[in-house]
């Protein structure tokens, strides 16, 4: 079931997402948060950090699991999702390092790491899962064609996703070709999902998610089966609804 909110500005989108996320953290100080990277949640993280500074909303007993990480780049790489999370959020709040869980991009056994991450997720289902959405309808890095039955796994990134993300790298060749991602099953396990999308480039994916047939060709369409997805959009992203 979708609860859809449409706003004029990115700041209003971020404010709504902040309210939803803060409510979970305040109502359950032991909450498990599923987190995302990318441009969409940057404003939300900024508001959470500002709120921590002003109101001291504590993350001491919060646990986090991130959606994904590029394969082949180390944690300290400036474009790793690890770096993103510390720069935008973790370094600015009081969350203990041991409560933070993230897929990795380098390991002597990536498959074993993904399997262990999957088991942890099954033991600690997310109270809320934050999502962005790819222009091709991916959630996490579950690209079109990914089975809806997958847990955490290694995925080959689609060309469109690499092109979309090339803006963060020196050139398209520098964009990793694979990622480790939570699977659709992991995302659906969350009690609540908070999805942020802005800009015209997301409009088709948003329409497919809400109104299209449920199909592995459009991974976000599976969210129609989830009991509570809060969708926070700007007018451009909502324009094909």
Question: Where does this chain touch ligand F6R (CB under 6 A) — which range of 11-19, 30-38, 44-52, 87-95?
Answer: 30-38
Among the options 138, 165, 186, 234, which is catalytic? 138
State the nearest-atom distance from the C-beta of 151 to ligand F6R, in Å.
Answer: 15
Among 33, 36, 110, 180, binds ligand F6R (CB under 6 A): 36
Residue 41 or 95 having the CB closest to ligand F6R: 41
**Phi, psi of 160, rounded to the nearest 5 degrees:** -60, -40
The Cα-based distances of 229 to 206, 218, 220 in angstroms read 13, 17, 11
Active site residue 68: yes
Restricting to residues 46-75, which ones interact with ligand F6R according to CB under 6 A?
67-68
For the question of residue 97 being annotated catalytic, the response is: no
Angle between helices 42-55 and 10-27 (to 10 degrees): 50
Query: Rounded CA gap, 234 and 98, in Å?
Result: 35
Are the beta carbons of 155 and 146 closer than 8 angstroms? yes
Do 193 and 180 form a contact (C-beta atoms < 8 A)? Answer: no
Tell the smallest beta-carbon distance from residue 203 to ligand F6R (Å): 13
Nearest-10 Cα torsion for 95, 186, 132, 96 = 10
CA distance linking residue 113 with residue 117, whole number of Å: 6
Q: Which is nearer to ligand F6R, 67 or 194 (CB)?
A: 67
Site size with ligand F6R, rule: CB under 6 A:
14
Of 226, 228, 235, 193, give the one whose Cα is nearest residue 21: 193
Query: What size, in residues, is the chain?
Result: 241
Tell me the residue number closest to ligand F6R, measured at CB: 132
- Identified binder of ligand F6R from the candidate list 38, 43, 183, 219, rule CB under 6 A: 38
Structure tokens at 174: 């520098």
Q: How far is the CB of 56 from ligand F6R (least distance, A)?
A: 27
Binds ligand F6R by CB under 6 A, chosen from 2, 4, 19, 39: 39
Residue 70 β-bridge partners:
179
Stretch that binds ligand F6R, among 16-24, 33-41, 100-108, 225-233 (CB under 6 A): 33-41
Query: Which is closer to ligand F6R, CB of 63 or CB of 161?
Result: 161
Chain residues binding ligand F6R by CB under 6 A are 36-40, 67-68, 132-134, 138-141
Just list the catalytic residues. Answer: 68, 136, 138, 143
């Amino acid at each position: 079931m979708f609860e859809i909110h449409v706003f004029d500005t990115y700041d209003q989108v971020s404010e709504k997402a902040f309210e939803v996320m803060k409510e979970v953290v305040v109502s359950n100080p032991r909450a498990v948060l599923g987190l995302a990277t990318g441009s969409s949640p940057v404003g939300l993280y900024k508001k959470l950090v500002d709120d921590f500074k002003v109101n001291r909303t504590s993350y001491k007993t919060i646990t986090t699991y991130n959606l994904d990480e590029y394969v082949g780049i180390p944690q300290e790489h400036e474009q790793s999702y690890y770096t993103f999370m510390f720069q935008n959020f973790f370094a600015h709040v009081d969350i203990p390092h041991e409560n933070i869980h993230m897929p990795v991009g380098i390991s002597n056994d990536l498959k074993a790491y993904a399997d262990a991450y999957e088991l942890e997720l099954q033991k600690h289902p997310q109270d809320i899962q934050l999502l962005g959405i790819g222009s091709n309808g991916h959630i996490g890095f579950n690209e079109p064609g990914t089975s809806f039955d997958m847990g955490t796994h290694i995925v080959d990134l689609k060309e469109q996703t690499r092109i979309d993300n090339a803006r963060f790298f020196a050139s398209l060749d520098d964009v990793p070709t694979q990622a480790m991602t939570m699977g659709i099953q992991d995302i659906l396990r969350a009690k609540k999902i908070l999805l942020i999308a802005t800009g015209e480039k997301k409009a088709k994916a948003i329409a497919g998610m809400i109104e299209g047939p449920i199909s592995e060709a459009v991974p976000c369409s599976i969210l129609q089966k989830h009991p509570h997805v809060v969708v926070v959009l700007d007018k451009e992203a909502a324009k094909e609804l």
